[in-house]
Structure 1
Amino acid sequence: MIPAGHLPILLSMSALLLTGSLALSPPKFTKVPKDIISTSGGVASFVCQATGDPKPRVTWNKNGKSMSSQRIEKIEFDGGAGVVLRILPLRAPQDEDIYGCVAENSEGKVSVQAKLSIISEDLLPAGFPKIEKNPQLKVVSRTTSNGRIKQLRSGALQIDNAEDSDEGKYECMASNVEGVRHSSYSRLYVRDPRVYPEERIIPPHFSIIPPATQEIVPGSSANLTCVAAGSPMPCVKWMLNSEDLTPEDDYLDGSSILKLKDILESANYTCVVKSILGIIKANTQIIVKSLPKPPTFLVLIETTATSITIAWDNGSLEPVSHYIIEYSAKSPESKFKAMDPITTTRYSIRGLSPNTDYEIRVSAFNAIGQGPPSDPVEATTLKQAN
């Protein structure tokens, strides 16, 4: 039997245990993703956050399947109870799909979906959002205060009394019923005026500029290096036309290396260097070239006792730098002899032996190297006159 004086204490302990067990709760969404209509080559950002006890874990999937791509970024916040899914640059039709957000803890699991639609720039409706002015790189002095960040009616983001934690990348987003448009990102640098005085601010400039042109054979690899300096240190990225080739997380301060493999097509690449003091660019062209084709229509023009004159056509569509003529007497012990490079398509081979059979072929050269020889032509020198 429990003493009467102990009963209230035991009842209080039971109520405490019961209350503790009731405190656990399944996940519940506090932010759910919305359907997005964006542009090909643009950006899509889905936000998903949940609460619960214990704190739930949020994950993303594409039509029920896991995702892995260099163009897909998952940014966690709130200890993993919130995740931003970013896809850039968008590509149609492979990115158009249903994206699912799942929140799960030991007490349960909930999910929600959002649809991504992509429209080509030339098919956008008249009311589709436009970004009139992209964010600009800023350098501000560090101070401290509260209630510092607010968005103005003009669309500007105002940060008063900047702190070190404010340093990072910023972008703005415009949306309406027609779709969503993201600006290009920009950086905010927070400097300590005690160690980073104004007189140390230097405009961005190149330390290493990539070569203007590189000629390679099909299937080759190439590394494009771009290095810049300045104060503040500029960020560097590579672009192909309007497409960012450098992942946003890899926008390096001061340098960027673009590694290209199995190159099959010629293209123009741009290194973009940006800081608060301006933007500079350097272009480099990779030209995919193959060896020249064999010369065609190799014909005999004239023969003498000691010379043979031949002519031919350039078999390549691309220009060649020069030609090599090889000739050999038709005997088992003879070997082909190569003449000095020539730039014409007609030539007389001199110093030959009279009344001798010769085999002649021609090869073309370009910046890549020597191409295969032409089909040979046979000729016989005349007998030596008495």
Structure 2
Amino acid sequence: MLSLGALVFLVGCVIRTRAQYGYISLNARALSDTQVLVSRYDVGTVSLANLDFSYRQDGTTTWTTFRLNPTRRYFPVTELNSSTLYYIRVEGRQMRSYSMVHAYTHIRTPPYSQKAPNNVTAVTLDDDSVKVSWSPQPDGRVLGYLVIYTEVDSKDRSLTEYKVKPVFRDFQTVLRDIKGSSRYKVEVASISLDGEGSSKQSVYVGDEKTPFLRMVIPPRDSKVKDKGILILVCRADGYPKPRVTWRKSGRLFDDRNRRIYEDSSDGVSILRIDPVVSRQDHGTYTCIAGNGFGEIVRARATIKTYKEKAKIPGFPVISQHPVLNFVEEGAEVIMNCTSEGTPDIITRWYKDSFPVYYSKDNRVALGANAQLIIVRVKLSDQGKYECSAQNDLGVVFSYPAHLYVKERILMMTPPSFLRSKLRFKVDYGEEVSLTCDAVGQPVPDVWWEQNGKRLKGRSHNGQNIKVLQDLRQTSNYTCVASNPLDTIRRDYSVRVFEPKLEDTMVAPSFKPASLSVKVKFAGSTSLTCEAEGDPVPRVIWLLRGKILKRKSDNGKNVLRLMRLRGSGNYTCTASNIAGNVSQVYNVTVAAKVERFRVSRPVDLQTAVVLPNEVELKWDPPKNLSGVTGFAVYVVDTVTSDETREELPIVYNHTVTNLQPDRQYSIRVTSLSESLDGKGTPAVLVKTLKLGRDVHLPSREPA
């Protein structure tokens, strides 16, 4: 039988008291022998008017109490005694129901004596979730384990809040709220009646992601009349997600009349002033974004105000305002906004004070006469809409108009499969496509499984096509279709014919190729891998274990690399039924050269043209700084062959060894210490024919 303390711990060390709108829970973690961090979690809607945080030592009746901000989530407690049991509670009153909300927990400060788990591993599954497993230590005091995880950057700094998942009677768990493209630190600690073990084992999973921050949409300068409306929009992007605040003259807004309103959604922050008071609201407004890493970014907008009755020729005027609309889900709605003014007017639409962004599929679009057109209306489209008309003289907003969307009630039906081919026969190494279609209301989610394990891939409108490549053995696959009413399954079989290994079969072998390639910075190159064998081998390219290119043609696969900025080893693998081979191509990218441009020569001319010679002359560059000489480029327009000849600082040159009656393209560039500089425009020169009256000149040796 478990003691009362063990029973309390097994339910999460938390006693929760439900309120009308939600409840809160607590989690306590020991940071050191004398420090504890208590975290608060809200379940449901919790809006507190006050918050009291208290704790007491076991064996005493006196609570130490603090009155804190009702929105506070973390409560650090310091100067505690080591190896001592403490009781912790949080109390608050709901703003709407006036009911009390209580939460309790307890923790014993370290050091703890239970042993940490061994062999902690974390593996990413096909659906981007992470499976964490470990080996237990023989310790009768251990009741369970805590899996603690957080997103971290390349310097092991935490980017998100720590999340804790308790695990009992098992030595593995699956974390499904992890982003597959991010890097996570996962810790596993043993827990007993005393609390969380002080020793943990840590592992990392996922790719490193570098924090960044940038301003995407800065606020615009605006001019507005007194008692009008003004909305400033600011959008910042970053990792972690940035927090945006507004300032005027370096101060936060403190508007007790609720005239100035700030809000944020999906990285967009708005500042709404309604109504505008000219004597107070003119000036400079600053949008500030920060995410805790690196410098913050700012953007400023200047607001100019006019008197309400000021007559300004050309100032925007809205003559037709949007009106109230009631539509059914899936229907179409058009909202009008007609305005006048000079210069030309720019019309923008807002929903609940946030900008309306037009979709690429034209579900939400701007009409020819500035109407807002929404087709296939969704429940999420419901809200308060208004438009603004703006030109260089100022901005004016329309009256607000509500759009109400009525939910369309559909008859729900369980999923069912459409007819399809269930048995396939393919040759060894070939590919096959499995198609699974299901119907139902709502449209079922369709996925594939193999041996009970879900495979990657998503369904679209009840259809999921699974392409299986390089098949090497017979296997069965299961299509699963599910909606809220039912889940159904259908089995598919794929039979692979394995060829008999005959004496005539030959294992793959590579044809000779250069395995070391040098490329200039940001340059391009092609790697050709060609193999022979019987049957014809399949050739693929890989980089660090990831496939770059699968498709090969008759044993040949050409990999095109563009704009290279770093060196790397590229692996080519050739395989057939008789065997497989691999070889590594080393691509070395030269360091980036800081380009120093020098002035180019001017006025390139041909002085003398003969059958096999052309005499050139040109004028010096305007600025000889950095010029060490010149280079003459000659291109045969028939064969496209190019020759290059370097010269000292001279202003004439004779090009020899040319073909008679042939056209050439010639240009001259300046030389610097690092590379060729700018060149003259190319001139086209055609050499003379060899005739009876044409004699090749003889030159005396210098």
Shorter-chain TM range is 0.3 to 0.5
TM-score by length of 2: 0.24
Does 1 or 2 have the higher relative contact order (CA < 8 Å, sep 6+)?
1
